[in-house]
Structure 1
Amino acid sequence: MPTSLTVPQTPRYVPALPTKENLQYADLAIIDLSKAATAEGRAELAVELREALTTHGFCYIINHGYTQAQNERMFDIVDIPMSGVPEDEKRAYTGDSKKTGILQGYKPRQYWHIDAGVRDQLEHYASLRPFLPDLDAFARLQPWLQNLDLTALLRLMALSLELPEDTFVKLHDFDAPGISYLSFMKYFPRSEEEEVRTKNVWMKGHTDFGSITLLWSQPVAALQIQTKEGWRWVKHIENALLMNIGDSMEFLTGGFYKGTIHRVVQPPIDQRGYTRLSLIYFSFLNDDVNPVLQRVGVERRCEDDVAPTMKAWRVARISAYGTSDLQKGKEPGIEEEVLNGIVVNYYN
């Protein structure tokens, strides 16, 4: 890789101010990763993480090793392909996840169908780890990403299930193609007519399909999670990560940890008109993984002999999103589709 490239000046991304609206927020646990430095601290965090993931399935991660300045620098970089690249150049890098089942390249707005004939207003770039050296030449992203210690969270999850610490680490080869996605997303405001037709829902309630998702907290309130009390907003915490688990971890743990149902909706009144910039890290199990951990009292979503591999599940979910003719589910407000013999629910 050339060493003489000069990193260009990055325009400063100025986010919206946090909302002052009185919203019903989810009471999410805060996991302090600084405690993971000792065996005693990891044992304590494992209990906290188990409680968080079995209660809401979402939690905050703090003291993860990144400063507020590094966080702000990343959002400056994330906004470059959204705001600083001409439309014709963006489209030169357009991917086609409907055909390939791979989240790679640029996804233009209007690509997915949301509801009632309304299509999405979301742009995103997704980067596979093998291509990060190219990004590094432009924005020095790779060294920053490599410092993200997902293994600490995977070890805590294993401990929370009373398994050897490296159980989940062994199932994630982060250098393999398709195992990790760093996704840059930007939601754009919609027309009032579109908001009415979709009942203010920008992305229907769903579960992620990987193992762990990390979302950098940002101030525009739009993310909601489904709780026993109904939909609750997720509050912004400065320089925190949000962690949730997806389908593949639910499959692997036999339902002990369930994929978290979440959605994106129109922001509150004082934040309408702003774009919403997101930085998300999606982690996946190795492509050939499909066994269920043998634990007493867990339930299988399907029999082992027909269980899809991680690759088959990832490709099926990516290809189908925003294209399927969803059917009414058994319960009110739920739509469904069947992929690889498994029912996938969407909550509207």
Structure 2
Amino acid sequence: MTIAAVASERPVAVPHYVPAPEADEDLDYADLAIIDLSKLATPAGKSELAVEVRNAMREQGFCYVVNHGYTSGQTERMFDIADVAFSGVSDEEKRVYEGRMLQTGSYQGFKLRQYWHIDSGVHDQVENYNINRDVTKKEHPQAIRPLLPEIREFSKHNHLNVLHPILRLLALGMGLPEETFVDIHGYGAVGETYSRFMKYYPRSEEEEAKTNNVWLKGHTDFGSITILYSQPVAALQILSPDGKWRWIRHIPNALVINAGDALEYLSGGFYRGTIHRVVQPPPSQRGYTRLGVFYFAMPDDDVKLVPRLSPVNPVWADRKFKDEDAPTMEAHRKGRTSAYGKSELKKSDDGVEEEVINGVLIRHYN
């Protein structure tokens, strides 16, 4: 795929994806902060946001972001585009563009259903299509090719207009220079930061029983920041500080932001990778597919994941590794990508499943 192949900016007509109606049930939702990026327009607003983001990411590890620069219509268009990867591509063609996660440690391409082991011999019912922010890096299915200009702009928008402002606020919240984290998340740098389209399909009652209704077991993301475009199917839950699993509420045209392990390492534990999972939706939404639109951000591949300690966080109290043993982002992401859902896990005394990757203990919450 060449640059010329994605040069056209004319929008292409695609079928409209109709999501499920919002859940009828009164669910136990997490009380998350709502970060209004329009406040960045003034110095006082930026200072206020730095405190809000710091507190949100330290207390919950998740928050909502509004006024992020995309209209409701633009967001709806991206969900239409996302669904093309699944409804507009045959199973045969999906296999042609299947990613080789185990061999390469990269998610680029399709992650097909039944790849990840969930529990008790049950495998997942979710498809991913992952596109590097450099959309020319890999070939794409026929139906996706005319949409690459919009996908490229979507990635660029998320990187420069959402990720970078959030990284600046996170640095200010630690008392670090504003560009500390931005400088190691270059838009044009070598790395694996990517957009992901993700579609969950309903499962059988037998599969639900064997997995206790868990679709994706509790885990932390391995990157720095994950950006999720809010959608109406209730299935995402976070492990709250009080030890209870709580649902993430849908807010139309909001983003759901969470921290991953790379940010935990880079901040010396000041910010934590947040434990979350996906479960069967409530009864009013069962039978619907759940379409997700994400931007998974990671530091540049050559960055060593050593802490950027600061006056407000001078010591990494529960250090995961010595500085000299810190992996690069490339080694970290490849190890996590190739192992996820494929490795043998050991259960600890508290029932949590564990594995060691690059000398770091990784936990899965089932």
Unaligned regions of 5+ residues in structure 1, if any?
Answer: none
Question: In the TM superposition, what is the alpha-carbon distance from 1:196 to its structure 2 partner?
Answer: 0.4
Equivalent in 67, 77, 83 of residue 81 of structure 2: 77
Equivalent in 283, 294, 301 of residue 309 of structure 2: 294
1:221 and 2:221 are equivalent in the alignment? no
- The verdict on how the C-alpha distance between 1:92 and 1:285 changes in structure 2, with shifts beyond 3 A counting, is same
* Maintained 8 Å contact 1:129/1:177: no
Equivalent in 262, 270, 273 of residue 287 of structure 2: 273
Scaled by the length of structure 1, the TM-score of the pair is 0.96
Equivalent in 244, 262, 270 of residue 256 of structure 1: 270
* Maintained 8 Å contact 1:172/1:179: no
Structure 2 SS opposite 1:24: coil
Question: In the TM superposition, what is the alpha-carbon distance from 1:89 to its structure 2 partner?
Answer: 1.2
Which one-letter code corresponds to 1:53 in the other structure? M
Taking the aligned partners of 1:242 and 1:24, their CA distance within structure 2 comes to: 17
Which one-letter code corresponds to 2:334 in the other structure? V
1:86 and 2:90 are equivalent in the alignment? yes
* Maintained 8 Å contact 1:101/1:316: yes
Structure 1 SS opposite 2:154: helix
The Cα offsets for residues 138-183 of structure 1, whole Å up to 9 and x where unpaired, read as: 3532223322312111111111111111111111122234341101
Equivalent in 119, 143, 152 of residue 115 of structure 1: 119
Taking the aligned partners of 1:181 and 1:55, their CA distance within structure 2 comes to: 27
194-203 or 169-178: which moved more? 169-178
* Maintained 8 Å contact 2:16/2:80: yes
Taking the aligned partners of 1:4 and 1:44, their CA distance within structure 2 comes to: 41
* Maintained 8 Å contact 2:221/2:273: yes
Question: In the TM superposition, what is the alpha-carbon distance from 1:8 to its structure 2 partner?
Answer: 3.3
Scaled by the length of structure 2, the TM-score of the pair is 0.91
Taking the aligned partners of 2:252 and 2:109, their CA distance within structure 1 comes to: 29
Give the total of aligned pairs: 347
Pairing 1:26-45 to 2, within 5 Å after superposition? 26-45=30-49
Pairing 1:187-206 to 2, within 5 Å after superposition? 187-206=200-219
- The verdict on how the C-alpha distance between 1:153 and 1:258 changes in structure 2, with shifts beyond 3 A counting, is same
Question: In the TM superposition, what is the alpha-carbon distance from 1:307 to its structure 2 partner?
Answer: 1.3
Alpha-carbon RMSD across the aligned residues, in angstroms, is: 1.6
The Cα offsets for residues 271-319 of structure 1, whole Å up to 9 and x where unpaired, read as: 0000100011000011122221123243221111111111111000000
Question: In the TM superposition, what is the alpha-carbon distance from 1:136 to its structure 2 partner?
Answer: 7.0
* Maintained 8 Å contact 1:130/1:177: no
Pairing 1:1-348 to 2, within 5 Å after superposition? 1-2=4-5, 7-131=11-135, 137-141=146-150, 142-148=152-158, 149=161, 150-229=163-242, 230-290=244-304, 291-295=306-310, 296-299=314-317, 300-331=319-350, 333-348=351-366
Structure 2 SS opposite 1:325: coil
Which one-letter code corresponds to 2:335 in the other structure? A
The Cα offsets for residues 22-76 of structure 1, whole Å up to 9 and x where unpaired, read as: 1100000000000012221111000000110111100000000111000100000
Structure 1 SS opposite 2:135: helix
The Cα offsets for residues 225-273 of structure 1, whole Å up to 9 and x where unpaired, read as: 0013300000000000000010011011111101000000000000000
Which one-letter code corresponds to 1:338 in the other structure? V
Question: In the TM superposition, what is the alpha-carbon distance from 1:132 to its structure 2 partner?
Answer: 5.2
* Maintained 8 Å contact 1:187/1:275: yes
Which one-letter code corresponds to 1:80 in the other structure? V
The Cα offsets for residues 78-112 of structure 1, whole Å up to 9 and x where unpaired, read as: 00011111111111111110111001001110111
Structure 2 SS opposite 1:130: coil
* Maintained 8 Å contact 1:254/1:301: no
113-122 or 7-16: which moved more? 7-16
Structure 1 SS opposite 2:300: coil
Structure 1 SS opposite 2:176: coil
Which one-letter code corresponds to 1:231 in the other structure? W
